């Protein structure tokens, strides 16, 4: 029986085609800048996002960390969402490595940061305060796509306030596919953009940080300091190239499957189900029932995440039939609870 893993879009396995290009990749020592496949991936990513340069790093966490360290100095500050990955889920790396202070703000219902609140959060020029340097946004945010008009407004406000802008664009290609625009149209507002290759795009490892040549040169040093210098990394970069060439347009299938899953589960009276947000939705079962639900689904080969509000994520290893099977198992579980 096939396992249907809905915990995250990071759980995908490389396809046979991806494995073949990895095995055949031309490699060199990337710390010397001599891995041709890494160089090709970085040039491709920079071109796609409309930036001067890119750097390949092992993870999205390191991509965001090198961005923070490249934008900010010790005692500087960045503004981010209270539940933003860069603030909440990355171990406080900016503070540990760079002495950089976060200023978290609550997200709005649509995943944006209220720009008036951003204005008020920027510290005055006073020796008592940290120096606010950077505004960090997230797209998608919990699967929600930031409107292009909002990005225009955020960019204008950031310029007025003298702030650089960084995008945690782990799923920026989901956003671009959802909006029906080239990814550079989403990226153009930002001084730096982090892109995860190992989420919906299906590569086994890696992210790219894209930005100006000056910023990426700084990021190279911080990648080394953080332990991210890799040697014959072309084997991994080849997977990223394949992902960018073959797995972008098909993200629309993940969005469609998430909508199908949301629609199917919404007919279960006991569940609170969110509308699908690109490839992500959230379900909340009755209080105290989540552990039993999780166990029952696992027994049927369906894996879901933890917590009382459960995130479900579709990806390239989840097909329409898997969604229909998942809905059926949910229905059986709650029908049995009513007997």
Is the pLDDT assigned to residue 314 strictly greater than 80?
yes
Residue reference for tokens 């204008």:
156
pLDDT tens-digit readout, 188-228:
999 999 999 999 999 999 999 999 999 999 999 999 999 99
Mean pLDDT score across all residues of the chain: 97
Beta carbons within 10 angstroms of residue 95's beta carbon: 12
Two tokens at 135? 């505004």
In this structure, what are the phi and psi dihedrals at residue 67, rounded to the nearest 5 degrees? -65, -50
- Residue 220 CA, chain-centre distance (Å), reads 21
Which pLDDT score, from 0 to 100, does residue 339 have?
45
**Of the ranges 8-12, 76-80, 255-259, 273-277, which one carries the lowest mean pLDDT score?**
273-277
Is the pLDDT assigned to residue 179 strictly greater than 50?
yes
Which of helix, strand or coil describes residue 11?
A: coil
Residues ≥6 apart with Cβ < 8 Å to 316: 9, 12, 200, 202, 247, 250, 253, 254
Percent of the chain clearing pLDDT 90 (strictly above): 98
Beta carbons within 10 angstroms of residue 113's beta carbon: 27
Environment class of residue 55 by beta-carbon count within 10 Å: exposed (0-12), middle (13-18) or buried (19+)?
Answer: buried
pLDDT tens-digit readout, 84-122:
999 999 999 999 999 999 999 999 999 999 999 999 999
Q: Does the predicted TM-score (pTM) go above 0.85?
A: yes
Is the pLDDT assigned to residue 338 strictly greater than 90?
no
Mean pLDDT to the nearest integer, 299-313 = 96
pLDDT tens-digit readout, 10-48:
999 999 999 999 999 999 999 999 999 999 999 999 999
Q: Rounded to whole angstroms, how far apart are CA atoms 165 and 29?
A: 32
Q: Could you give the C-alpha distances from 290 to 105, 250, 294, in angstroms and in order?
A: 29, 32, 6
């Amino acid at each position: 029986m096939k396992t249907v893993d809905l915990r995250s879009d990071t759980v995908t396995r490389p396809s046979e085609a991806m494995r073949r290009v990895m095995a055949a990749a031309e490699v060199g020592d990337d710390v010397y800048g001599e891995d041709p496949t890494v160089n090709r991936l970085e040039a491709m990513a920079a071109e796609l996002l409309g930036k001067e340069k890119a750097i390949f790093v092992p993870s999205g966490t390191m991509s965001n960390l090198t961005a923070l360290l490249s934008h900010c100095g010790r005692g500087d500050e960045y503004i981010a969402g209270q539940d933003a990955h860069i603030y909440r889920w990355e171990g406080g790396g900016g503070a540990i490595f760079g002495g950089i202070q976060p200023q978290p703000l609550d997200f709005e219902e649509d995943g944006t940061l209220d720009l008036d609140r951003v204005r008020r959060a920027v510290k005055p020029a006073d020796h008592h305060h940290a120096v606010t340097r950077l505004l960090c946004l997230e797209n998608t945010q919990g699967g929600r796509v930031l409107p292009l008009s909002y990005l225009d407004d955020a960019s204008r406000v950031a310029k007025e306030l003298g702030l650089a802008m960084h995008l945690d664009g782990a799923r920026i290609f989901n956003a671009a596919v959802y909006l029906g625009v080239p990814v550079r149209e989403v990226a153009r507002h930002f001084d730096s953009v982090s892109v995860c290759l190992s989420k919906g795009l299906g590569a086994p490892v890696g992210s790219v940080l894209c930005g100006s040549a000056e910023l990426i040169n700084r990021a190279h040093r911080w990648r080394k300091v953080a332990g991210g210098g890799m040697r014959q990394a072309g084997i991994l970069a080849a997977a990223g190239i394949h992902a960018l060439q073959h797995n972008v347009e098909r993200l629309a299938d993940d969005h469609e499957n998430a909508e199908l899953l949301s629609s199917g589960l919404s007919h279960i009276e006991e569940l609170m189900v969110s509308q699908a947000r690109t490839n992500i939705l959230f379900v909340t079962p009755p209080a105290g029932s989540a552990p039993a639900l999780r166990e029952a689904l696992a027994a049927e080969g369906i894996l879901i995440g933890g917590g009382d509000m459960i995130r479900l994520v579709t990806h390239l290893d989840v097909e329409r039939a898997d969604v229909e099977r998942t809905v059926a198992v949910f229905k059986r579980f709650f029908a049995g609870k009513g007997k």
